[in-house]
Amino acid sequence: MSVSTETAVCSARAFVPFRPLTLRGFIAWGLGAAAALHVAYEFFPPAILLFLFCIYQLAHAATRPHAMYSGWVLGLLIYGPQLAFFWNIFGFAAVALWLVLATWLSAYLVLQRFALLKLGPQLGAWAAPFLWTGVEYFRSELYYLRFSWVNVGYAFSPFPQQAFIPWLGMYGIGFLLMLFAAHAPFHRTATRQQKLIWTTALALAAIAAFLPGSSAEPERFSPKRGNAIGTQLKIAGVQLEFADERTVVAELDKLLAKCPDANLFVLSEYTFSGPVPSPVKSWCATNRKYLIAGGKDYLDASESEFRNTAFVIDPEGREIFKQAKAVPIQFFKDGQPAAEQNVWNSPWGKLGVCVCYDLSYTRVTDELIRQGAQAIVVPTMDVEDWGERQHHLHARVAPVRAAEYGVPIFRLCSSGLSQAVNRDGTVQATAPFPGQGATLEATLEVPERGGLPMDRILVWPCVGISVSLLVWHLLHSFRPARHRTHARISAERR
C-alpha cells in the first residue's frame, strides 16, 4: 500500500463517528449475514433477525467503496445459492441478475453508512428501518427489474400469523426487525438498562406471537373488515404442462370423477396457446361447471401480439370474464401487460384472478383487494425444467399474501407446487413437484371482505426518506473537493 493510500484510509477512519470495520470484521459480519439468511430460509425463520443485525454492522465501513463492495459480495453469497435456478434459465447471464439484486444491498449499506456518518450513531440507528424498508420496497415493486423473492417477509411463510404479517405486512415485519437489529445492545458502550429494555421488548414480541389471541382478526386499512364467512367455494384443479386439448379434457373428466361436488375447476397458466378451445368449453357446458384456465388473448389478426390471460368459462360454455397478466416476466415472451384489472363477480362473491408472478407484487394484488376481492385464484406456470428449488421459493408467496389480506388463495401450477391456502396463511392442501396429472381440491371459506396491512402506508415514508438521503448523499459526493477539505479542517479545529 502506498503512503498516499494509507493516509486516505487513515483520514477516512479518523472522521467517522463510529468504529469502522476491519477486514476481519467485514469477513465475520458478511459470512454471518449470508449464513443467517440461508438458515432462516431453510430451517429457522427467526434467524432472519441475525441477518439484519449483521447487515447493519456491515454499514459501519470506513469508506463508501468498502460498503458498496461488501454489498455486492454478500449479494452473490445470498442470491447465488438461493436463486441458483437462474443459471438453468439464463445461463451465464444469471450472474448479472444476481449482481442486480446485490446492488440493492450495496445501496442500503452505502445509504446506511451515510446516515451514520451525517446523523450520528443514534439517529442513524433510527433511520435504519426506514432505509431498509425503502430500499427493499423499491427493488421489489417500483422499477423494471422488480423482484420480491428472498426478502425478510417471505422467510416467515411457514407461519405468517405468528410473524404479525396480517397486521404489519411483509414489508412491515422487515421494518420492525431492522428496528430491533439496529438497536441491539451488543457493543461495549451499551448500558445494562439498554440491554434489559431490548431483551424484554424482544421477549414480549415473541410471547405475543404465540399467545392464543394472536390469530385474532387484525384491524386493516380497508373500509370494511372481513370477519364473517360469506360462503364456501369448492374448488379443484389438475397440474398439466404442455398438454394437448384431448389430454386436457381427459384429465378434467378424471378430476370431475374425483371431485364431483366442486363448483369451480382450475387449470394452469398457458394451458392453451390461444383462447380456451371449443372442446373444453363444451366440457363445461356438458358438465355444468365453471372453469378458469390460462391461455393467450391475441391482440391482432396475425397473432403476433397477445396478453397472457386467465379465462373464465361458465356452465353454458361461454367466456364470461378474463384477466390478463399485469406484470409480464422480464426477458420472456410473456405478452403485453394488462390494460386494466377487475374482479370477477362470481356466484360465490368477488374473486380476484391474477396470473402467476403477479401474486409476487403487492401493487398488483392490492388493487384486487381494493376492488373487494374475497378470494384469489392464481393460474401459474412454473416449468419443471426450472427445478424444484424455484418451485419451493415461489410457494412461499401465497401463504404470506393470504395472511396479509385475510382472504383464501387457490394457486394452481403446471408442475407444482400447487396450494390451497386459508385466509390466515396456513396451507390446507398442496400438490407435489413435478406431479403431472396431480390434483388439488379444497373448500375455501370465503370472507365478506379482505383488507390491507399497515405497511401499505408505511412504505411510502420509507421510500421518501431513502430517496431524500440518496439525494443528500449525491449532493455531498459532488461537492468540490476544496469544500470537503475545508469542512475536514474545521472539524479538526473543533
Complete domains list, the chain, with CATH: 9-218+458-493 (no CATH), 229-447 (3.60.110.10)
Query: How far is it, in rounded angstroms, from Cα 225 to Cα 373?
Result: 12
Geometric angle at alpha carbon 344, from 341 and 347, rounded to 5°: 170
In degrees and rounded to multiples of 5, residue 206 shows phi and psi of -65, -40
Q: Which residue spans within 73-225 are E strands per DSSP?
A: none
Q: Helix, strand or coil for residue 242?
A: coil
Q: Quickly list DSSP for 39-64.
A: HHHHT-GGGHHHHHHHHHHHT--SSH
pLDDT of residue 5: 40
Residue 195 has pLDDT above 80, yes or no: no
Distance between alpha carbon 193 and the CA centroid of its chain, in Å? Answer: 36
Question: Residue with C-alpha cell 388463495?
Answer: 409
Number of neighbouring beta carbons within 10 Å of residue 232: 12
Q: Name which of 320, 265, 317, 318 is nearest 293 in CA terms.
A: 265
Residue 7 has pLDDT above 90, yes or no: no
Q: Which residue has the higher pLDDT, 467 or 489?
A: 467
Q: How confident is the model at residue 8 (pLDDT cuts 50, 70, 90)?
A: very low
pLDDT of residue 243: 94
In degrees and rounded to multiples of 5, residue 361 shows phi and psi of -110, 115
| Torsional class of 120: left (φ above 0), alpha (ψ -120 to 50), beta (otherwise) | left
pLDDT of residue 492: 47
24 Cβ partners below 8 Å, 6+ apart? Answer: none
Q: Name which of 151, 149, 104 is nearest 131 in CA terms.
A: 104
Q: Name which of 409, 345, 368 is nearest 222 in CA terms.
A: 368
User: Among positive and negative, which fits the CA dihedral 348, 154, 93, 104?
Assistant: positive
The string over 363-386, giving b where at least 16 C-beta atoms fall within 10 Å of a residue's C-beta and e elsewhere, is bbbbbbbbebbbbbbbbbbbbbeb
The predicted-structure confidence for 252-300, as pLDDT tens digits, reads as follows: 999 999 999 999 999 999 999 999 999 999 999 999 999 999 999 999 9
* Percent of the chain residues topping a pLDDT of 70: 88
